[in-house]
Amino acid sequence: MENFISKNGKQLITYEKEIKCPYCEKGGFIQLHPKHLKLHNKNVNDVRKEYPEYPTMTIERYNKQMSISEIGGYKTKELIQDSKTKIVECYYKLDDDCSHETKEVEIYAPNGFLCNKCRSLKKESKDGRESDIANIKREKTFMGKYKVRNANQIIK
Ligand SMILES: [Zn+2]
Ligand SMILES: [Zn+2]
């Protein structure tokens, strides 16, 4: 199967599982990520111009984006095509025993995650009542600290 140009004309899609960066030969990408290309002061357009033979995205990644954009409509599609990411924090980041880890996720991912430490502390309780109490407690902390009701409102 031959490489082809994405619908928006920006990406060269390959049927290979992985692609590599033309500037540093680093492999294992499913997409030449803007953040990585920035390390070389380049963007996807530069790659297409300077290395027209180099795929910039795998078919798997492309299909995933296309299906997401169909669900999310035009706006989401635009965001995803720009491959924006965001930093999210642990849902329990206000707890003293949280690891306060952050991680980088795609823009459409949830606005928080459960860090390994909090997970190991079994904070994601399946007991409805227990987590209700925890939620109310957390909500109070948030209200006090940030004047908002939950973490999603303060994590951009
Ligand atoms: Zn590179
Ligand atoms: Zn945590």
On whether both 100 and 142 belong to a single domain, the answer is: yes
Residue in 6, 32, 30, 26 with CA at minimum distance from that of residue 16: 30
CA distance linking residue 57 with residue 61, whole number of Å: 7
Q: Give the ligand with the smallest distance to the CA of 100.
A: 2
pLDDT of residue 56 exceeding 70, the answer is yes
Pairwise pLDDT comparison (139 vs 42), residue with the higher score: 42
Q: How far is the CA of 156 from the centre of ligand 1 (A)?
A: 28
- The CA distance from 90 to 99, in Å, is 8
Point out the ligand nearest to the CA of residue 120.
2
**Domain with 72 in it:** 4-81
Provide the pLDDT for residue 40: 97
Do 17 and 73 lie in one domain? The reply is: yes
Question: Do residue 21 and residue 75 come from a single domain?
Answer: yes
- Report yes or no on whether pTM surpasses 0.85: no
Task: Point out the least confidently predicted range of 11-15, 18-22, 100-104.
Answer: 100-104
Q: Both 123 and 59 in a single domain?
A: no
User: CA 99, CA 1: separation in Å to the nearest integer?
Assistant: 46
CA of 29 to the centre of ligand 1 (A): 10
- Dist. CA 31–CA 63, nearest whole Å: 12
Q: Which ligand is nearest to the CA of 99?
A: 2
- Which ligand sits nearest to residue 114's alpha carbon? 2
At 1 the pLDDT is 84
* Domain's final residue, options 81, 116, 138: 81
Total domains present in the chain:
2
pLDDT reported for residue 84: 72
| Statement to judge: residues 69 and 100 lie in one domain | no
